[in-house]
Amino acid sequence: MRDVLRSGDKLDLAFYESLASVEDRWTGSRGTVPWNFYQRPELTGEYVVEADGTISLPLLGRFPVRGLPPADVEAIILPSYENLVGRKGFVNIVKIEHQPIYITGPVRNPGSFRYVDGMTVLHAVAQAGGMAAKSIEPWQSVEISRQIERLKAGLADVKRLASRTEVLRAKRDSVQIASIGTPVLGPDPDAQRLLDDETWQRQLVTTSKDAQSSAYAKSVANAQADLDLRQARVGNYDATIRVRQDRLASIEKLAKNKLVTSIELTRAQSELTESEDRKQQAVIDVESAKQRLAAAKQDVERDRIERKIEIEKSAADAERGLSTALKTTESDLEIFQSMVSSNDSAGVEFEIVRPGPNGVIVEPATEETVLQPGDLIKVH
C-alpha cells in the first residue's frame, strides 16, 4: 500500500484557526487585523498511529486512520477541531515518517534502517552491510563495546522518561505520585531521586502558570468591584433625581402663585437636568464595566483551557517518548545479542516478525520478500 497510514507511523500535524477582523472589546470599533490563520501550538506536534490504527489527540479524541491517505485523515479531524475552537480552521499533515525496518543476526551492521516503499529482504541485508564474517574482527569488538555504552545510555533515558511520565500523569489526573507507583523504574535506588527531579522541574512550570492564572483572577475581581461601584452610583443618582423632581414640582407650584422668581425655577430645572445627564453617563459607564468584566472572565476561561491542553499534550509527549525509548532499548539489546552470537553465515535463512492488528506475525521469508514498515528481519 502506498500513500496510506500504518500503525507506528509518526505524523507531524499542524492545526490552524481563522482570525477575522478583531472588534475592540471596549469601544465596539473595528480593528484593522485582516482575515488570517493562526497556528495553535498547543495542539500542533507529532502524533503516532497506535497499534489499533488510531491516533489520540488531546481534547479531540481518537480517530481511526490506518489505511487512509493523508487528505482523508485531515478531513476527519477537521470537524472536531472546528467544534473545539468554535471557528473555521484547517489541519495539515506536514510530514509522515514510517516505522523503520530492523535486521538482526549475522550481518555486518545489524540495527534499524529507514523504510522505502518496495523494499525487500535483500535490500535490508545490503543496507546492513551484507553477511558478517565467521570470526569477530577487531572492529567488531569495538562495535560491541559501543553497543554496550548505547545500552547503558538507553536505560538511563528509559528511567528519566518513566519518571517524567509518572509526574505528568499525576498532574493530569490530579492524583499523588505515590499512588501510581514505579512499574517501569521498579526498585531502582535512583527512582526516587529521578521522581524528585522531575517533580521539581514540573513545579517550576506550575508556579509560573499559577502566577498568570492569579493575575487573570485578580483582573476579574477588580472588574467586578468596578462594576459594583458604578452600579451603586447609578442608584445614588436615582435618589438625587427623585429629590430634585419633588423640589422642582414644589417650586413650580410656588411660581404659579408668584411666590418665587423665575430664576429659582430655572435653577431647579437646571439641577434636575444635570442629575439626569450624570445618571445617563453613569449608565454608560456601567455597560462599559460589564464588558470589561466579561472580557476578564473570558481570559480566565481561556487560561483554564490552555492549561488543560498543555498538561494533556505534555503527558502524551512523555508517554510517546517513553514508548520510543523502550523500543529503542529493546532493539539495541537484540543487536547486542546478535553481535555476540555465532557468526556462521552458512545456510542463511530469513524470518520476518511483523506487528499486526491482532498481534505479532512470524513468517519465513526469502530475499525477494517485500517488507512493510516496522518489520523485524531475523537472519539465521
Highest mean pLDDT among 10-24, 229-243, 355-369: 229-243
Residue 31 has pLDDT above 60, yes or no: no
Task: State the DSSP code for 33.
Answer: P
The closest of 81, 105, 99, 122 to 339, measured between CA atoms, is 105
Residue 346 has pLDDT above 60, yes or no: no
Q: What is the pLDDT of residue 292?
A: 93
- Tell me whether residue 37 is exposed, middle or buried, using C-beta atoms within 10 angstroms of its C-beta: 0 to 12, 13 to 18, 19 or more: exposed
Q: What is the pLDDT of residue 175?
A: 78
Q: Which residues, other chains included, contact 69 with Cβ-Cβ below 8 Å and sequence gap of 6+?
A: 3, 4, 5
Instruction: Write out the H or E segment, with its range, that includes residue 362.
Output: strand 359-365
pLDDT category, 99, cuts 50, 70, 90? confident
Q: Mean of the pLDDT values across residues 56-74? A: 91
Q: What is the pLDDT of residue 296?
A: 92
Please state, as a whole number, how many other Cβ atoms lie within 10 Å of the Cβ of residue 359.
Answer: 7
Q: Which three cell numbers stand for residue 32?
A: 484593522
Residue 198 has pLDDT above 50, yes or no: yes
Q: pTM for the whole thing?
A: 0.44
Q: Which three cell numbers stand for residue 297?
A: 472572565
Looking at residue 32, its amino acid is T
The closest of 180, 178, 188, 203 to 158, measured between CA atoms, is 188
Distance (Å, whole) CA 368 – CA 119: 9
Q: Is 202 in contact with 171 (CB distance < 8 Å)?
A: yes
The closest of 77, 100, 98, 101 to 89, measured between CA atoms, is 77
Q: What is the residue-averaged pLDDT of the chain?
A: 83
Distance (Å, whole) CA 140 – CA 340: 10
Q: Is the dihedral of CA 196, 197, 200, 206 positive or negative?
A: negative
> 34: helix, coil or strand?
coil
Q: Mean of the pLDDT values across residues 105-110? A: 86
Highest mean pLDDT among 15-19, 152-156, 161-165, 211-215: 211-215
pLDDT tens digits for 237-292? 888 888 989 888 888 888 888 787 888 888 888 988 998 898 899 899 999 999 99
Q: How many CA atoms lie within 13 A of 46 on its CB side?
A: 13
Per cent of the chain over pLDDT 70 is 88
Find cell 538507553 and name the residue: 154
Question: Which range, of 9-13, 187-191, 230-234, averages the lowest pLDDT?
Answer: 187-191
Q: What is the pLDDT of residue 224?
A: 94
Q: What is the pLDDT of residue 250?
A: 87
Distance (Å, whole) CA 315 – CA 308: 11
Q: What is the pLDDT of residue 132?
A: 74
Q: Which residues, other chains included, contact 90 with Cβ-Cβ below 8 Å and sequence gap of 6+?
A: 16, 37, 74, 78
Distance (Å, whole) CA 251 – CA 271: 13
Looking at residue 275, its amino acid is S
Residue 200 has pLDDT above 50, yes or no: yes
Q: Is 87 in contact with 17 (CB distance < 8 Å)?
A: yes
HEC assignment per residue over 220-260: HHHHHHHHHHHHHHHHHHHHHHHHHHHHHHHHHHHHHCCCC
Give the residue, 49 or 134, on which the prediction is more confident: 49
Per cent of the chain over pLDDT 90 is 23
Distances (CA, A) of 164 to 43, 167, 332, 334: 20, 5, 22, 26
Going along the chain from its start, the domains and CATH numbers come out as: 10-97 (3.30.1950.10), 100-135+345-380 (3.10.560.10), 155-342 (1.10.287)
Distances (CA, A) of 296 to 101, 181, 217, 291, 293: 53, 40, 8, 9, 5
Q: What is the pLDDT of residue 57?
A: 92
Give the residue, 20 or 298, on which the prediction is more confident: 298
Q: What is the pLDDT of residue 329?
A: 85
Give the residue, 133 or 258, on which the prediction is more confident: 258
Q: What is the pLDDT of residue 293?
A: 93
> 51: helix, coil or strand?
coil
